[in-house]
Amino acid sequence: MTVRFGGLELAHPIINASGTFDAIAAARAFGRAALYERFPFSAFVSKTVTLAHREGNSPPRLWELGEGMINSIGLPNRGLAGYLERDLPELSTLPVPLIVNVMGFAPDEFAALVEAFSARREVAAIELNVSCPNVESGLIVGADPRECSVLVGRLRTLTAKPLIVKLTPNAADVPAVAQAAEAAGADAVSLVNTLRGMALRPGCAEPWLGAKTGGVSGPAIHAIALAQVHEVAARVSIPIVGMGGVRSGRDAHRLLSAGATLVAVGTESFRDPQAGTRVRTELAALGA
Ligand SMILES: Cc1cc2nc3c(=O)[nH]c(=O)nc-3n(C[C@H](O)[C@H](O)[C@H](O)COP(=O)(O)O)c2cc1C
């Protein structure tokens, strides 16, 4: 099942979706030796790292849906300095390549993050989370082909490591953004991130989540992910990481058939931390 992806050679096509599998916590919970011996993914994608430390959004941060969840976690993380000091040394011991996911609120922040991780041999590739507003323009980078092109073009000059652009589904023309990323030098695109959604406090008209809205993930979005991966695959020739509601080998196979090279398992890992292994085994049984 070996897969070549953006210059990396991976043992199989199943990786994790950013922010849905904490390898450091899992090593603590299940034992490092046991986790590493049967690591569920062929590469590990970190949760988003921002330049400054973030506490995340105010609670409540989760709402469970029948077919998934809405989260408004708000990217809590130690920030670049804390990540380099505390998380990177631990994650560099993983038995698979490390992909670091980064997000900046301005192009200079993205540039500082990419330069810092580009200099680290422990990092195999960098994923750009562009589902965020550029505070200088007010536009969501991943929703606007021109914003995306300018940003990726600048970051491309700063690193020789593979750059993966993580697209947002909350955009009018996702394939146009993917094309802009490819033309600006991206090595791959990944999609979908969560879809904007809302839940109401039971019995009243107030939003449940502290941030009012959040991102919908899980099986509820699988059909949307499938459509977007299929559309993007028709418009770009760089590899695609497909994700969105993958629970089984059959779901993964569908995304591969739609044009993905790798498939990421996200929300399902909260229900079953071994979901990655199960999805890969089921996929292999399908002969894919
Ligand atoms: C609790 C939670 C946290 C997430 N955190 C991040 C994150 O830090 N960075 C990111 O790019 N995507 C993040 N995502 C989005 C996932 O990586 C993925 O794109 C999305 O959940 C769709 O896949 P799924 O339906 O399999 O979960 C998060 C999703 C969830 C549910």
- Taking the centre of ligand 1 as the mean of its atom positions, its distance from the CA of residue 179, in whole angstroms, is 22
Q: Is residue 246 part of a domain?
A: yes
- Taking the centre of ligand 1 as the mean of its atom positions, its distance from the CA of residue 144, in whole angstroms, is 21
d(CA 284, CA 100): 27
**β-strand partners of 241:** 190, 262
d(CA 180, CA 152): 9
pLDDT tens figures, 227-239: 999 999 999 999 9
pLDDT tens figures, 196-232: 999 999 999 999 999 999 999 999 999 999 999 999 9
Cβ(159) – ligand 1 distance below 6 Å: no
67 has a pLDDT exceeding 90: yes
Helix (H) or strand (E) holding 57: none
Q: What is the pLDDT at residue 137?
A: 80
Helix (H) or strand (E) holding 227: helix 222-233
Q: Is residue 191 part of a domain?
A: yes
113 has a pLDDT exceeding 70: yes
d(CA 182, CA 205): 43
Cβ(169) – ligand 1 distance below 6 Å: no
Active-site annotation holds for 204: no
Average pLDDT over residues 26-46: 97
Q: Is residue 210 part of a domain?
A: no
pLDDT tens figures, 143-186: 999 999 999 999 999 999 999 999 999 999 999 999 999 999 99
Task: Extract the runs of DSSP E, i.e. beta strands, from 211-287.
Answer: 213-217, 240-243, 262-265
Q: Is residue 203 part of a domain?
A: no
pTM, two decimals, is 0.97
Q: Is residue 9 part of a domain?
A: yes
CATH number at residue 32: 3.20.20.70
- Taking the centre of ligand 1 as the mean of its atom positions, its distance from the CA of residue 52, in whole angstroms, is 20
Q: Is residue 267 part of a domain?
A: yes
Q: Is residue 175 part of a domain?
A: yes
Q: What is the pLDDT at residue 288?
A: 67
| Number of domains into which the chain is organized | 1
Range of the domain at 91: 3-57+72-197+216-285
Q: What is the pLDDT at residue 134?
A: 74
Q: What is the pLDDT at residue 287?
A: 84
Q: What is the pLDDT at residue 185?
A: 98
Catalytic one among 124, 132, 171, 256?
Answer: 132
Any idea which residue has 């046991």 for tokens?
A: 34
Q: Is residue 62 part of a domain?
A: no
- Taking the centre of ligand 1 as the mean of its atom positions, its distance from the CA of residue 168, in whole angstroms, is 11
Cβ(221) – ligand 1 distance below 6 Å: yes
Cβ(16) – ligand 1 distance below 6 Å: no
Q: What is the pLDDT at residue 177?
A: 98
Q: Which atom of ligand 1 is nearest to the CA of 265?
A: 26
